[in-house]
Protein backbone atom coordinates (compact mmCIF):
# COMPACT_ATOMS: atom_id res chain seq x y z
CA UNK A 1 0.00 0.00 0.00
CA UNK A 2 1.29 3.40 -0.93
CA UNK A 3 1.16 6.18 1.64
CA UNK A 4 -0.63 9.51 1.57
CA UNK A 5 1.42 11.98 -0.43
CA UNK A 6 1.55 15.74 -0.58
CA UNK A 7 0.90 17.33 -3.98
CA UNK A 8 3.14 20.30 -4.62
CA UNK A 9 3.51 22.63 -7.57
CA UNK A 10 7.15 22.15 -8.51
CA UNK A 11 9.24 22.45 -11.61
CA UNK A 12 11.57 19.59 -12.48
CA UNK A 13 14.61 21.17 -10.87
CA UNK A 14 12.75 21.82 -7.62
CA UNK A 15 11.43 18.26 -7.68
CA UNK A 16 15.03 17.00 -7.86
CA UNK A 17 16.04 19.30 -4.98
CA UNK A 18 13.17 17.89 -2.90
CA UNK A 19 14.27 14.33 -3.62
CA UNK A 20 17.84 15.14 -2.57
CA UNK A 21 16.53 16.84 0.58
CA UNK A 22 14.63 13.71 1.60
CA UNK A 23 17.40 11.22 0.75
CA UNK A 24 19.53 12.11 3.77
CA UNK A 25 22.39 13.19 1.52
CA UNK A 26 25.64 13.90 3.40
CA UNK A 27 27.36 16.01 0.78
CA UNK A 28 26.39 18.27 -2.12
CA UNK A 29 28.81 20.20 -4.27
CA UNK A 30 27.84 22.00 -7.44
CA UNK A 31 28.40 24.94 -9.72
CA UNK A 32 25.47 26.80 -11.28
CA UNK A 33 24.68 26.40 -14.98
CA UNK A 34 21.41 26.99 -16.80
CA UNK A 35 19.06 25.06 -16.78
CA UNK A 36 20.36 23.13 -13.77
CA UNK A 37 20.84 26.13 -11.44
CA UNK A 38 17.48 25.88 -9.68
CA UNK A 39 18.38 22.45 -8.28
CA UNK A 40 21.31 23.65 -6.20
CA UNK A 41 19.76 27.08 -5.63
CA UNK A 42 16.72 25.41 -4.05
CA UNK A 43 18.91 22.95 -2.19
CA UNK A 44 21.12 25.71 -0.78
CA UNK A 45 17.91 27.25 0.63
CA UNK A 46 17.22 24.00 2.47
CA UNK A 47 20.77 24.12 3.82
CA UNK A 48 20.50 27.79 4.85
CA UNK A 49 17.17 27.14 6.59
CA UNK A 50 18.65 24.25 8.54
CA UNK A 51 16.20 21.83 6.96
CA UNK A 52 19.01 19.41 6.06
CA UNK A 53 22.30 18.49 7.70
CA UNK A 54 24.07 18.21 4.38
CA UNK A 55 27.59 19.60 3.92
CA UNK A 56 27.13 22.00 1.01
CA UNK A 57 30.29 23.03 -0.82
CA UNK A 58 30.07 25.76 -3.46
CA UNK A 59 33.01 25.42 -5.84
CA UNK A 60 34.58 27.35 -8.71
CA UNK A 61 33.86 24.86 -11.50
CA UNK A 62 32.10 21.62 -12.36
CA UNK A 63 35.48 19.88 -12.51
CA UNK A 64 35.86 20.71 -8.82
CA UNK A 65 32.21 19.91 -8.03
CA UNK A 66 32.52 16.28 -9.10
CA UNK A 67 36.04 16.05 -7.65
CA UNK A 68 34.69 17.19 -4.27
CA UNK A 69 31.91 14.60 -4.52
CA UNK A 70 34.52 11.94 -5.20
CA UNK A 71 36.43 12.90 -2.07
CA UNK A 72 33.27 12.83 0.03
CA UNK A 73 31.99 9.58 -1.48
CA UNK A 74 35.39 7.93 -0.95
CA UNK A 75 35.00 8.80 2.74
CA UNK A 76 31.72 6.88 2.74
CA UNK A 77 29.37 9.85 2.35
CA UNK A 78 26.25 9.89 0.20
CA UNK A 79 27.08 12.54 -2.39
CA UNK A 80 25.08 14.44 -5.01
CA UNK A 81 25.83 16.97 -7.70
CA UNK A 82 24.02 18.40 -10.70
CA UNK A 83 25.06 19.97 -13.97
CA UNK A 84 24.21 20.50 -17.63
CA UNK A 85 25.85 20.70 -21.05
CA UNK A 86 29.16 22.56 -20.89
CA UNK A 87 29.34 21.95 -17.15
CA UNK A 88 29.26 18.23 -17.82
CA UNK A 89 31.87 18.71 -20.53
CA UNK A 90 34.15 20.44 -18.04
CA UNK A 91 33.64 17.53 -15.63
CA UNK A 92 34.62 15.04 -18.31
CA UNK A 93 37.87 13.80 -16.82
CA UNK A 94 36.27 13.29 -13.43
CA UNK A 95 33.16 11.57 -14.82
CA UNK A 96 35.27 8.54 -15.78
CA UNK A 97 37.25 8.67 -12.54
CA UNK A 98 34.08 8.59 -10.40
CA UNK A 99 32.95 5.35 -12.03
CA UNK A 100 36.38 3.74 -12.00
CA UNK A 101 36.65 4.46 -8.26
CA UNK A 102 33.23 2.77 -7.98
CA UNK A 103 31.64 5.63 -6.07
CA UNK A 104 27.83 5.66 -6.07
CA UNK A 105 27.46 9.40 -6.59
CA UNK A 106 24.12 10.59 -7.98
CA UNK A 107 24.21 13.38 -10.54
CA UNK A 108 21.24 15.13 -12.09
CA UNK A 109 22.01 16.21 -15.64
CA UNK A 110 19.55 18.75 -16.98
CA UNK A 111 19.89 18.06 -20.69
CA UNK A 112 21.05 21.05 -22.65
CA UNK A 113 22.69 21.38 -26.07
CA UNK A 114 26.46 21.45 -25.96
CA UNK A 115 28.15 24.54 -27.37
CA UNK A 116 28.76 25.55 -30.05
CA UNK A 117 27.03 27.45 -31.31
CA UNK A 118 26.16 28.45 -27.79
CA UNK A 119 22.64 27.46 -26.82
CA UNK A 120 20.89 26.90 -23.49
CA UNK A 121 17.95 24.75 -24.59
CA UNK A 122 17.31 21.03 -24.54
CA UNK A 123 18.95 18.26 -26.44
CA UNK A 124 20.72 15.12 -25.30
CA UNK A 125 24.17 15.78 -26.73
CA UNK A 126 25.61 16.37 -23.25
CA UNK A 127 24.67 13.12 -21.50
CA UNK A 128 24.85 11.03 -24.69
CA UNK A 129 28.45 12.12 -25.00
CA UNK A 130 29.34 10.23 -21.84
CA UNK A 131 27.25 7.16 -22.51
CA UNK A 132 30.35 4.96 -22.31
CA UNK A 133 31.63 6.41 -19.04
CA UNK A 134 30.34 3.43 -17.03
CA UNK A 135 27.62 5.50 -15.36
CA UNK A 136 24.06 4.27 -15.14
CA UNK A 137 21.88 6.64 -17.17
CA UNK A 138 18.16 7.11 -16.62
CA UNK A 139 16.18 9.56 -18.79
CA UNK A 140 13.05 10.91 -17.12
CA UNK A 141 9.86 12.12 -18.77
CA UNK A 142 8.49 14.68 -16.30
CA UNK A 143 9.07 16.37 -12.93
CA UNK A 144 7.36 13.55 -11.02
CA UNK A 145 9.63 10.96 -12.58
CA UNK A 146 12.70 13.13 -11.96
CA UNK A 147 11.77 13.22 -8.25
CA UNK A 148 11.07 9.47 -8.11
CA UNK A 149 14.18 8.52 -10.05
CA UNK A 150 16.63 10.53 -7.93
CA UNK A 151 15.33 8.64 -4.87
CA UNK A 152 15.72 5.32 -6.70
CA UNK A 153 19.17 6.29 -8.00
CA UNK A 154 20.79 6.23 -4.54
CA UNK A 155 19.49 2.69 -3.97
CA UNK A 156 20.65 1.52 -7.40
CA UNK A 157 24.15 3.00 -7.25
CA UNK A 158 24.75 1.96 -3.64
CA UNK A 159 23.62 -1.64 -4.18
CA UNK A 160 26.54 -3.92 -3.21
CA UNK A 161 26.51 -5.61 -6.64
CA UNK A 162 26.63 -2.28 -8.47
CA UNK A 163 28.70 0.45 -6.74
CA UNK A 164 28.55 2.81 -9.71
CA UNK A 165 27.52 6.44 -10.13
CA UNK A 166 24.07 7.19 -11.52
CA UNK A 167 23.10 9.97 -13.89
CA UNK A 168 19.46 11.04 -13.77
CA UNK A 169 18.56 13.27 -16.68
CA UNK A 170 15.69 15.68 -17.21
CA UNK A 171 15.10 17.76 -20.31
CA UNK A 172 16.27 21.36 -19.95
CA UNK A 173 13.39 23.85 -19.58
CA UNK A 174 10.80 21.34 -20.86
CA UNK A 175 11.01 19.55 -17.51
CA UNK A 176 13.43 21.63 -15.46
CA UNK A 177 11.48 24.91 -15.64
CA UNK A 178 7.93 23.66 -16.19
CA UNK A 179 5.63 23.75 -13.17
CA UNK A 180 3.86 20.46 -12.61
CA UNK A 181 1.90 18.73 -9.85
CA UNK A 182 4.42 16.53 -8.09
CA UNK A 183 3.48 13.99 -5.43
CA UNK A 184 5.98 14.16 -2.59
CA UNK A 185 6.37 11.21 -0.25
CA UNK A 186 6.61 11.81 3.50
CA UNK A 187 10.21 12.43 4.66
CA UNK A 188 10.40 9.34 6.85
CA UNK A 189 9.14 7.06 4.06
CA UNK A 190 11.92 8.21 1.73
CA UNK A 191 14.47 8.02 4.55
CA UNK A 192 13.47 4.42 5.26
CA UNK A 193 13.53 3.57 1.56
CA UNK A 194 17.04 4.87 0.91
CA UNK A 195 18.48 3.92 4.32
CA UNK A 196 22.04 4.84 5.22
CA UNK A 197 24.82 4.25 2.70
CA UNK A 198 26.71 1.14 3.71
CA UNK A 199 30.16 0.89 2.14
CA UNK A 200 31.06 -2.46 0.59
CA UNK A 201 34.05 -4.42 1.82
CA UNK A 202 37.05 -5.52 -0.20
CA UNK A 203 39.37 -8.45 0.45
CA UNK A 204 42.96 -7.32 0.94
CA UNK A 205 45.52 -10.15 1.16
CA UNK A 206 46.96 -10.33 4.65
CA UNK A 207 44.45 -7.81 6.01
CA UNK A 208 41.10 -9.55 5.54
CA UNK A 209 37.90 -7.75 4.55
CA UNK A 210 38.00 -4.01 5.03
CA UNK A 211 35.51 -1.28 4.09
CA UNK A 212 36.09 0.36 0.71
CA UNK A 213 36.43 3.87 2.11
CA UNK A 214 39.18 6.25 3.17
CA UNK A 215 39.65 5.28 6.79
CA UNK A 216 42.83 5.96 8.82
CA UNK A 217 42.20 2.74 10.79
CA UNK A 218 42.19 0.71 7.58
CA UNK A 219 44.23 2.70 5.09
CA UNK A 220 43.67 2.21 1.35
CA UNK A 221 45.14 4.06 -1.60
CA UNK A 222 42.47 5.29 -4.03
CA UNK A 223 43.43 6.08 -7.60
CA UNK A 224 47.03 4.81 -7.90
CA UNK A 225 48.73 4.30 -11.27
CA UNK A 226 47.26 1.24 -12.95
CA UNK A 227 49.09 0.14 -16.09
CA UNK A 228 48.86 -2.66 -18.65
CA UNK A 229 49.07 -5.31 -15.97
CA UNK A 230 45.79 -4.49 -14.14
CA UNK A 231 43.91 -1.56 -15.79
CA UNK A 232 42.10 -3.97 -18.12
CA UNK A 233 40.97 -6.17 -15.20
CA UNK A 234 39.53 -3.14 -13.41
CA UNK A 235 37.62 -2.11 -16.55
CA UNK A 236 36.16 -5.63 -16.83
CA UNK A 237 34.99 -5.28 -13.23
CA UNK A 238 33.12 -2.11 -14.26
CA UNK A 239 31.58 -4.00 -17.17
CA UNK A 240 30.44 -6.70 -14.77
CA UNK A 241 29.02 -4.14 -12.32
CA UNK A 242 26.84 -2.34 -14.86
CA UNK A 243 25.53 -5.71 -16.11
CA UNK A 244 24.62 -6.58 -12.53
CA UNK A 245 22.68 -3.30 -12.33
CA UNK A 246 20.02 -4.76 -14.66
CA UNK A 247 18.09 -6.80 -12.05
CA UNK A 248 18.72 -4.08 -9.45
CA UNK A 249 17.06 -1.36 -11.55
CA UNK A 250 14.01 -3.61 -12.01
CA UNK A 251 13.88 -4.54 -8.34
CA UNK A 252 14.13 -0.93 -7.13
CA UNK A 253 11.42 0.11 -9.61
CA UNK A 254 9.12 -2.50 -8.01
CA UNK A 255 10.09 -1.65 -4.44
CA UNK A 256 9.45 2.02 -5.13
CA UNK A 257 6.03 1.13 -6.54
CA UNK A 258 5.15 -0.42 -3.19
CA UNK A 259 5.79 2.81 -1.26
CA UNK A 260 4.56 5.31 -3.86
CA UNK A 261 2.12 3.59 -6.19
CA UNK A 262 4.27 4.71 -9.12
CA UNK A 263 6.46 2.65 -11.42
CA UNK A 264 7.95 3.21 -14.82
CA UNK A 265 7.44 0.14 -16.99
CA UNK A 266 9.94 -2.48 -15.89
CA UNK A 267 12.42 0.25 -14.96
CA UNK A 268 13.97 0.11 -18.43
CA UNK A 269 11.23 0.54 -21.03
CA UNK A 270 7.68 1.79 -20.89
CA UNK A 271 5.34 0.87 -23.73
CA UNK A 272 2.02 2.00 -25.11
CA UNK A 273 -0.14 0.22 -27.68
CA UNK A 274 2.56 -2.22 -28.76
CA UNK A 275 0.45 -5.38 -28.44
CA UNK A 276 -1.05 -5.03 -31.91
CA UNK A 277 1.09 -2.20 -33.30
CA UNK A 278 2.41 -2.26 -36.85
CA UNK A 279 4.58 0.79 -36.32
CA UNK A 280 6.23 2.23 -33.25
CA UNK A 281 8.38 5.14 -32.16
CA UNK A 282 11.25 4.80 -29.68
CA UNK A 283 11.84 7.99 -27.75
CA UNK A 284 13.39 9.18 -24.50
CA UNK A 285 12.81 12.18 -22.27
CA UNK A 286 9.95 14.66 -22.34
CA UNK A 287 9.09 14.10 -26.03
CA UNK A 288 7.64 10.75 -24.95
CA UNK A 289 4.59 12.65 -23.71
CA UNK A 290 3.99 14.18 -27.14
CA UNK A 291 4.52 10.82 -28.86
CA UNK A 292 2.08 9.06 -26.51
CA UNK A 293 -0.49 11.82 -27.11
CA UNK A 294 -0.24 11.42 -30.89
CA UNK A 295 -0.22 7.61 -30.67
CA UNK A 296 -3.45 7.67 -28.63
CA UNK A 297 -5.06 10.00 -31.11
CA UNK A 298 -4.06 7.81 -34.09
CA UNK A 299 -5.20 4.63 -32.34
CA UNK A 300 -8.62 6.20 -31.76
CA UNK A 301 -8.77 6.69 -35.53
CA UNK A 302 -7.94 3.00 -36.04
CA UNK A 303 -4.22 3.16 -36.87
CA UNK A 304 -2.15 0.41 -35.30
CA UNK A 305 0.61 2.51 -33.81
CA UNK A 306 2.49 2.18 -30.55
CA UNK A 307 5.42 3.70 -28.72
CA UNK A 308 8.28 2.68 -26.48
CA UNK A 309 9.88 5.06 -24.05
CA UNK A 310 13.45 4.18 -23.32
CA UNK A 311 13.92 5.10 -19.67
CA UNK A 312 17.22 3.46 -18.82
CA UNK A 313 19.81 3.96 -21.55
CA UNK A 314 22.78 2.53 -19.62
CA UNK A 315 22.77 -0.38 -19.16
CA UNK A 316 21.01 -0.61 -22.54
CA UNK A 317 17.88 -2.84 -22.41
CA UNK A 318 18.52 -4.67 -25.67
CA UNK A 319 16.58 -7.82 -24.68
CA UNK A 320 13.55 -5.85 -23.49
CA UNK A 321 13.62 -3.77 -26.67
CA UNK A 322 13.66 -6.82 -28.93
CA UNK A 323 10.89 -8.54 -26.96
CA UNK A 324 8.67 -5.47 -27.14
CA UNK A 325 9.23 -4.65 -30.81
CA UNK A 326 10.09 -7.82 -32.73
CA UNK A 327 6.55 -8.16 -34.17
CA UNK A 328 6.37 -4.52 -35.31
CA UNK A 329 6.88 -3.79 -39.02
CA UNK A 330 8.45 -0.35 -38.88
CA UNK A 331 10.15 1.45 -35.99
CA UNK A 332 11.21 5.09 -35.90
CA UNK A 333 14.02 5.83 -33.45
CA UNK A 334 14.11 9.42 -32.25
CA UNK A 335 17.52 10.75 -31.31
CA UNK A 336 17.86 14.15 -29.67
CA UNK A 337 21.59 14.36 -30.34
CA UNK A 338 23.67 14.64 -33.47
CA UNK A 339 25.63 11.79 -34.97
CA UNK A 340 28.30 13.35 -37.09
CA UNK A 341 29.85 10.84 -39.41
CA UNK A 342 28.14 7.97 -37.61
CA UNK A 343 25.72 5.38 -38.97
CA UNK A 344 22.97 7.12 -36.99
CA UNK A 345 22.11 8.62 -33.60
CA UNK A 346 23.15 6.73 -30.45
CA UNK A 347 19.71 5.24 -29.72
CA UNK A 348 19.35 4.18 -33.37
CA UNK A 349 22.71 2.43 -33.46
CA UNK A 350 21.96 0.55 -30.22
CA UNK A 351 18.50 -0.43 -31.45
CA UNK A 352 19.77 -1.73 -34.78
CA UNK A 353 22.57 -3.65 -33.07
CA UNK A 354 20.04 -5.21 -30.67
CA UNK A 355 18.05 -6.55 -33.62
CA UNK A 356 20.97 -7.73 -35.75
CA UNK A 357 20.91 -11.34 -34.56
CA UNK A 358 17.12 -11.64 -34.66
CA UNK A 359 15.28 -13.42 -37.48
CA UNK A 360 12.10 -11.45 -36.95
CA UNK A 361 12.79 -7.72 -36.96
CA UNK A 362 11.24 -4.42 -38.03
CA UNK A 363 12.49 -1.88 -40.54
CA UNK A 364 14.25 0.74 -38.44
CA UNK A 365 14.47 4.43 -39.30
CA UNK A 366 16.28 7.23 -37.53
CA UNK A 367 14.92 10.70 -36.82
CA UNK A 368 17.28 13.30 -35.42
CA UNK A 369 15.09 15.93 -33.78
CA UNK A 370 14.92 18.82 -31.35
CA UNK A 371 18.58 19.90 -31.46
CA UNK A 372 19.20 23.08 -29.49
CA UNK A 373 15.64 23.00 -28.16
CA UNK A 374 13.89 23.01 -31.56
CA UNK A 375 10.21 22.45 -30.79
CA UNK A 376 8.76 19.04 -31.59
CA UNK A 377 4.97 19.53 -31.79
CA UNK A 378 2.36 16.77 -32.35
CA UNK A 379 2.16 17.64 -36.07
CA UNK A 380 5.78 16.58 -36.48
CA UNK A 381 5.19 13.27 -34.67
CA UNK A 382 2.08 12.64 -36.79
CA UNK A 383 4.24 12.95 -39.91
CA UNK A 384 6.69 10.40 -38.50
CA UNK A 385 3.88 7.92 -37.84
CA UNK A 386 2.50 8.50 -41.35
CA UNK A 387 5.89 7.77 -42.84
CA UNK A 388 6.32 4.66 -40.66
CA UNK A 389 2.88 3.39 -41.68
CA UNK A 390 3.93 3.84 -45.32
CA UNK A 391 7.16 1.89 -44.68
CA UNK A 392 5.21 -0.87 -42.93
CA UNK A 393 2.93 -1.14 -46.00
CA UNK A 394 5.63 -1.04 -48.68
CA UNK A 395 8.64 -2.40 -46.81
CA UNK A 396 10.73 0.25 -48.53
CA UNK A 397 12.89 2.86 -46.80
CA UNK A 398 13.59 5.97 -48.80
CA UNK A 399 16.19 7.38 -46.41
CA UNK A 400 17.51 5.87 -43.17
CA UNK A 401 18.32 9.04 -41.27
CA UNK A 402 16.20 12.18 -41.38
CA UNK A 403 16.30 15.52 -39.62
CA UNK A 404 12.92 16.47 -38.17
CA UNK A 405 11.78 20.05 -38.36
CA UNK A 406 14.89 21.41 -40.03
CA UNK A 407 14.46 23.96 -42.83
CA UNK B 1 56.89 -10.53 -10.23
CA UNK B 2 54.47 -13.11 -8.86
CA UNK B 3 51.71 -14.51 -11.09
CA UNK B 4 49.19 -11.88 -12.17
CA UNK B 5 45.66 -12.20 -10.78
CA UNK B 6 42.38 -12.30 -12.71
CA UNK B 7 39.64 -9.67 -12.50
CA UNK B 8 37.58 -11.69 -10.04
CA UNK B 9 40.52 -12.01 -7.62
CA UNK B 10 41.42 -8.37 -7.11
CA UNK B 11 39.58 -5.72 -5.08
CA UNK B 12 37.29 -3.38 -7.04
CA UNK B 13 37.83 0.36 -7.52
CA UNK B 14 41.53 0.05 -8.37
CA UNK B 15 42.59 0.35 -4.74
CA UNK B 16 46.00 -1.03 -3.88
CA UNK B 17 46.16 -4.43 -2.24
CA UNK B 18 49.90 -4.72 -1.78
CA UNK B 19 52.29 -2.55 0.17
CA UNK B 20 54.43 -0.26 -1.95
CA UNK B 21 57.38 -1.71 0.02
CA UNK B 22 57.06 -4.78 -2.21
CA UNK B 23 57.66 -2.77 -5.35
CA UNK B 24 61.33 -2.05 -5.98
CA UNK B 25 61.50 1.20 -7.86
CA UNK B 26 65.25 1.65 -8.12
CA UNK B 27 66.01 -0.48 -11.14
CA UNK B 28 66.41 2.25 -13.74
CA UNK B 29 69.19 4.48 -12.38
CA UNK B 30 72.27 5.25 -14.45
CA UNK B 31 74.50 6.41 -11.56
CA UNK B 32 74.44 5.10 -8.02
CA UNK B 33 75.71 6.83 -4.87
CA UNK B 34 78.63 5.13 -3.11
CA UNK B 35 79.43 6.37 0.40
CA UNK B 36 83.04 6.54 1.56
CA UNK B 37 82.57 5.60 5.23
CA UNK B 38 86.04 6.98 6.10
CA UNK B 39 85.08 10.46 5.00
CA UNK B 40 81.44 10.39 6.28
CA UNK B 41 80.86 12.61 9.36
CA UNK B 42 77.33 11.22 9.94
CA UNK B 43 75.66 14.63 9.66
CA UNK B 44 72.65 12.98 7.91
CA UNK B 45 72.13 15.86 5.48
CA UNK B 46 72.03 13.26 2.68
CA UNK B 47 69.48 11.19 4.63
CA UNK B 48 67.10 14.13 5.08
CA UNK B 49 67.67 15.34 1.50
CA UNK B 50 66.98 12.05 -0.27
CA UNK B 51 63.54 12.35 -1.93
CA UNK B 52 63.04 8.60 -1.59
CA UNK B 53 64.34 6.09 1.00
CA UNK B 54 67.61 5.34 -0.78
CA UNK B 55 69.82 6.76 1.98
CA UNK B 56 69.26 5.12 5.35
CA UNK B 57 70.63 5.31 8.90
CA UNK B 58 71.12 1.85 10.38
CA UNK B 59 71.97 3.04 13.90
CA UNK B 60 75.69 3.09 13.31
CA UNK B 61 76.29 4.49 9.88
CA UNK B 62 74.71 5.91 6.74
CA UNK B 63 74.00 3.23 4.12
CA UNK B 64 72.72 3.14 0.55
CA UNK B 65 69.48 1.33 -0.36
CA UNK B 66 69.66 0.74 -4.11
CA UNK B 67 66.17 -0.88 -4.19
CA UNK B 68 64.67 2.60 -4.21
CA UNK B 69 67.48 4.83 -5.54
CA UNK B 70 66.81 6.49 -8.90
CA UNK B 71 70.28 7.97 -9.09
CA UNK B 72 69.32 11.64 -8.83
CA UNK B 73 72.58 12.54 -7.08
CA UNK B 74 71.11 14.97 -4.54
CA UNK B 75 72.90 13.12 -1.71
CA UNK B 76 76.29 13.53 -3.38
CA UNK B 77 75.55 17.17 -4.11
CA UNK B 78 74.59 18.11 -0.52
CA UNK B 79 77.36 16.18 1.22
CA UNK B 80 79.53 18.83 2.99
CA UNK B 81 82.63 16.55 3.02
CA UNK B 82 82.24 15.04 -0.47
CA UNK B 83 81.95 11.54 0.95
CA UNK B 84 79.43 10.40 -1.69
CA UNK B 85 80.51 9.59 -5.23
CA UNK B 86 78.10 8.90 -8.12
CA UNK B 87 79.37 5.75 -9.83
CA UNK B 88 78.10 4.54 -13.19
CA UNK B 89 75.93 1.41 -12.97
CA UNK B 90 77.43 -1.65 -14.63
pLDDT in tens, B7-47: 999 999 999 888 777 788 888 899 999 999 999 999 999 99
Same domain, A25 and A97: yes
Distance from CA of B3 to the nearest CA of A (A): 11
Q: Which residues of chain A have pLDDT under 50?
A: none
Q: Which residues of B touch A230 (CB under 8 A)?
A: 4, 10, 14
Specify whether A297 is located in the same domain as A345: yes
Q: How far, in Å, CA of A81 to CA of A201, rounded? A: 25
Q: With 70 as the cut, is the pLDDT of residue B1 above it? A: no
Contact assignment for A222 to B17 by CB distance below 8 Å: no
A203 to B11: CB separation less than 8 angstroms, yes or no: yes
Q: Express each pLDDT in A208-237 by its tens digit.
A: 999 999 999 999 999 999 999 999 999 999
Verify that A282 and A189 share a domain, yes or no.
no
Total domains in chain A come to 2
A160 interaction partners in chain B (CB closer than 8 Å): none
Taking the CA of residue A106 and the nearest CA in chain B, the distance in Å comes to 17
Q: Does B4 sit within 8 Å of A202, measured CB to CB? A: no
Residue B80 has pLDDT above 80, yes or no: yes
- Is residue A279 within 8 A of residue A382, CB to CB? The reply is no
Q: Backbone dihedral region of A264: left (phi > 0), alpha (psi from -120 to 50 degrees) or beta?
A: beta
pLDDT of residue B43: 97
| Residue B23 pLDDT | 80
Give strand ranges (E) for A288-399: 305-310, 312-314, 330-335, 363-368
Each residue's pLDDT tens digit, A304-350: 999 999 999 999 999 999 999 999 999 999 999 988 999 999 999 99
CATH of the domain at A286: 3.40.50.920
**Are A253 and A327 in a shared domain?**
no
The residues that bridge with A27 in the sheet, in sequence order, are A55, A79
Q: In this predicted structure, what is the pLDDT of residue A1?
A: 57
Contact A84, A172 (CB under 8 A): yes
Residue B66 lies in a domain: yes
pLDDT tens track for A288-301:
999 999 999 999 99
Q: Are residues A332 and A252 in the same domain?
A: no
In this complex, the residue of A101, A203, A236 whose CB is nearest that of residue B13 is A101
pLDDT at B90 over 90: no
CB contact under 8 A, A203 and B5: no
Rounded to whole angstroms, the Cα distance separating A310 from B63 reads 66
Query: What proportions of chain A, in percent to the nearest 5, are helix, strand and coil?
Result: 40, 20, 40
- Banded model confidence at residue B2, pLDDT cuts 50, 70, 90: low
pLDDT of residue B24: 86
Helices then strands, counting H and E runs in chain B, come out as: 2, 4
Q: Which chain A residue lies closest to B10 (C-alpha atoms)?
A: A203
Q: Are A155 and A194 in contact (CB under 8 A)?
A: yes
* Same-domain check for residues A185 and A290: no
Tens digits of residue pLDDT in B36-68: 999 999 999 999 999 999 999 999 999 999 999
CATH of the domain at B74: 3.30.70.20
Tallying the residues shown for chain A, one arrives at 407
Is A219 a domain residue? no
Does A393 reside within a domain?
Answer: yes
Q: How far is A20 from chain B, CA to nearest CA, in Å?
A: 25
Based on the structure, what is the number of domains in chain B? 1
Strand bridging mode A106-111 / A79-83:
parallel
The residue segments making up the domain with residue B52 are 29-88
Cα of A32 to nearest chain B Cα, Å? 29
Helices (H), A55-117: 62-74, 85-100
Residues of A in contact with B17 (CB under 8 A): 202, 204-205
* A220, A229, A233: residue with CB nearest B15: A220
Contact list, B12 vs chain A (CB under 8 Å): 102, 163, 200, 202, 212, 234, 237, 241
Structural domain contains residue A205: no
Residues B15, A222: C-beta atoms closer than 8 Å = yes
> First-to-last CA distance in chain A?
51
Q: Which residues of B touch A (CB under 8 A)?
A: 4-7, 10-18
Query: How would you classify the pairing of strands A136-139 and A106-111?
Result: unpaired
pLDDT of residue A331: 98
Between B12, B14, B18, which is nearest A226 by CB? B14
Nearest to A130 by CA among A165, A172, A175: A165
Task: Please check whether residues A365 and A299 belong to one and the same domain.
Answer: yes
Q: Do A245 and A324 lie in a common domain? A: no
Range(s) of the domain holding residue A340: 269-403
- Domain check: are A48 and A156 in the same one? yes
In a domain, A232, yes or no: no
Measured in angstroms, the CA of B67 and the nearest CA of chain A are apart by: 20
Within chain A, how many helices (H) and strands (E) appear? 12, 17
- Of A225, A260, A295, the position where a domain reaches its end is A260
Closest CA of chain A from B10, distance in Å? 8
Is there a domain that residue B55 lies in?
Answer: yes
Amino acid sequence: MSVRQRVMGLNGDEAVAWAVKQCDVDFVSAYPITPQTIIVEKFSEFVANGEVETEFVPVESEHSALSACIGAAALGARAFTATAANGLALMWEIVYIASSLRLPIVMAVVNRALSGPINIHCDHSDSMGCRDASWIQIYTENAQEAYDTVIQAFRIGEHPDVQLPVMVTLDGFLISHTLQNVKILPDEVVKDFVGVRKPVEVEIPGRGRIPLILDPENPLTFGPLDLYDYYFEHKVQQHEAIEKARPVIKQINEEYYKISGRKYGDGFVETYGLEDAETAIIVLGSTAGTVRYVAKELRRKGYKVGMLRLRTFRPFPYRELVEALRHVKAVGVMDRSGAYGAYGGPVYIETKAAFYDEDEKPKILNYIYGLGGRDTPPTMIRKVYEELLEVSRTGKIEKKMKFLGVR
Amino acid sequence: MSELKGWREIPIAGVTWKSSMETKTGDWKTFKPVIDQNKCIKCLICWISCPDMAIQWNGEKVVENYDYCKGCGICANVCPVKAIKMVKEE
